[in-house]
């Protein structure tokens, strides 16, 4: 650290500098002052004496501290006065005190990870390449990114929830209105302080993202408009099975340069699922119906997220068992025919409570085991209707409802987002 003191004593300015680097700079400056002073007119004040005493050891890398004392005599010149330089008889050549300092560039710490985890992930063009540029291939073709993208746009809530666990949420360009719904989104808090846009694809193009992530449900015309604007689009599948999304998490991690975070998330997901499956090694499988009512009631059959959660929580999807595929409209009589042991209602709480009261009071359902035994439950839709690792929380919660004695004393925690 440069420390200097200025003393005015007997017409002298005493400058004391600590540090060999500054001795060099000062020497050069004083020589320049001396030369300029000698060329000035007679009516100016002139530096008349430069006395340099320096002790320094200068090597290619300056390691030792040095102390230099520079004494400068200042004489106010009288008119027509002859100026005489006093001090060291032999000036010290400045080239003997040159210091070359090579700056050391700061580098990001390299975190090792198991590269083999990406070897069998569909879509990674070269699973041995973890540098940049890198390429992935999805249904929209091969896209190549030259650097880790800092402006990412996600068209689906599930992808956004995964990305929130992998990267700083500030790297996502914008969110949509339903992202801030606390009952249906697991990133509502993060989304509440992010830029919100409408559903016009032109708004996305105007954000100038470096890459757009779309799901298999994204409208083809929307994707075509964005690719036509020269923006690479990665359309990755999101699965109804929690474990089925492992390859998607790894692919997204590779795409955005978050391999370490992707592996950590996958490891946690797999460990939590193993914990559930180890406990549920039982032949007992209640028939569970997932049904919600908006203007009409819809049951979740085969190929649905809700149905996948039921099966992974140790139950039988009663709707699928009755031949229902996807989400199909059902009547009270249809629910009676399905005859479930348990009914779950994954929709916002206010509507769920109204629907549950309707089911419980229906005479047509009086002998249905779920109604007769009071086994109708509201479940958080943000766990049951999204397509991301957060489905695991739906599985854990439902398993606890179906098998309370198996999970007595067990507390399940929420997943963390990036940076927590």
Q: What is the CATH number of the domain that holds 394?
A: 3.40.50.1980
Q: Are residues 205 and 224 in the same domain?
A: yes
Same domain, 163 and 206: yes
What value, to the nearest 5°, has the Cα angle with vertex 318 and ends 415 and 277?
A: 40
* 162 closest CA partner among 215, 220, 219: 215
| Residue 381 lies in domain | 284-402
381 and 350 belong to one structural domain: yes
Q: Identify the domain boundary among 275, 298, 330.
A: 275
The answer to whether position 414 is within a domain reads no
Residue 319 in any domain: the answer is yes
Is 248 a domain residue? Answer: yes
Question: What pLDDT does residue 109 have?
Answer: 59
Rounded to two decimals, the pTM is 0.74
Bridge partners, residue 124, by sequence: 136
Residues 136 and 262 in one domain: yes
In this structure, the answer to whether residues 93 and 131 fall within a common structural domain is no
With beta carbons less than 8 A apart as the criterion, state whether 217 and 131 touch: no
Q: Which of 62, 97, 132 is the last residue of a domain?
A: 97
In a domain, 409, yes or no: no
- By CB neighbour count within 10 A (0-12 exposed, 13-18 middle, 19+ buried), where does 420 fall? exposed
Residues 266 and 368 placed together within one structural domain of the fold: no
Domain count for the chain, please give it. 3
Are 85 and 160 found together in one domain? no
- Are the C-beta atoms of 50 and 72 separated by less than 8 Å? yes
Asked, for residue 102, whether it belongs to a domain, the answer is: no
Same domain as 197, residue 228: yes
Q: What pLDDT score does 284 carry?
A: 85
Residues 207 and 319 in one domain: no
Examine the domain organization and report whether 262 and 298 are in the same domain: no
In a domain? residue 416: no
Q: List pLDDT tens digits, range 279-320.
A: 998 768 999 999 999 999 999 999 999 999 999 999 999 999
pLDDT recorded at residue 229: 96
Is the domain of 69 the same as that of 195?
no
With respect to residue 32, please indicate whether it lies within any of the assigned structural domains: yes
Contact 305, 390 (CB under 8 A): no
Is 106 a member of any domain? no
Residues with pLDDT less than 50, the chain:
1-92, 94-97, 99-107
**252 and 124 in one domain?**
yes
């Amino acid at each position: 650290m440069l420390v200097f003191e200025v003393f005015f004593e007997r017409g002298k300015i005493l400058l004391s500098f600590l540090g060999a680097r500054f001795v060099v700079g000062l020497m050069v400056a004083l020589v320049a002052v001396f030369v300029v002073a000698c060329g000035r007119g007679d009516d100016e004040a002139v530096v008349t004496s430069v006395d340099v005493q320096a002790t320094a050891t200068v090597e290619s890398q300056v390691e030792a501290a040095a102390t230099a004392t520079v004494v400068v005599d200042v004489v106010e010149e009288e008119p027509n006065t002859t100026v005489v330089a006093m001090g060291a008889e032999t000036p010290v050549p400045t080239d003997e005190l040159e210091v070359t300092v090579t700056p050391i560039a700061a580098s990001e710490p390299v975190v090792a990870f198991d590269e083999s985890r990406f070897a069998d992930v569909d879509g990674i063009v070269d699973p041995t390449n973890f540098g940049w540029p890198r390429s992935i291939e999805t249904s929209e073709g091969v896209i190549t990114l030259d650097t880790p993208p800092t402006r990412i746009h996600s068209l689906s809530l599930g992808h956004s929830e995964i990305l929130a666990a992998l990267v700083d949420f500030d790297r996502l360009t914008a969110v949509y209105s339903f992202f801030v719904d606390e009952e249906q989104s697991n990133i509502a808090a993060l989304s509440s302080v992010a830029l919100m846009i409408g559903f016009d694809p032109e708004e996305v193009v105007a954000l100038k993202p470096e890459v757009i992530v779309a799901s298999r449900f994204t409208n083809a015309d929307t994707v075509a408009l964005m690719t036509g604007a020269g923006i690479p689009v990665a359309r990755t599948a999101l699965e109804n099975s929690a474990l089925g999304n492992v390859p998607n998490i790894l692919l997204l991690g590779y795409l955005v340069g978050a391999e370490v975070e992707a592996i950590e998330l996958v490891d946690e997901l797999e460990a939590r699922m193993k914990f559930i499956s180890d406990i549920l090694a039982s032949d007992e499988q209640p028939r569970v119906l997932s049904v919600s009512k908006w203007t009409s009631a819809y049951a979740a059959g085969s190929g649905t997220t809700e149905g996948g959660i039921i099966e992974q929580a140790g139950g039988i999807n009663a709707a699928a068992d009755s031949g229902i595929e996807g989400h199909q409209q059902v009547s009270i009589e249809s629910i009676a025919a399905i005859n479930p042991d348990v009914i779950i209602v994954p929709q916002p709480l206010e509507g769920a409570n109204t629907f549950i009261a309707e089911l419980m009071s229906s005479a047509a359902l009086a002998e249905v085991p779920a109604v007769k035994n009071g086994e109708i439950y509201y479940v958080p839709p943000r766990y049951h209707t999204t397509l991301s690792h957060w489905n695991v929380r739906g599985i854990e919660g439902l398993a606890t409802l179906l098998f309370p004695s198996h999970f007595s004393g067990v507390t399940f925690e929420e997943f963390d987002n990036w940076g927590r």
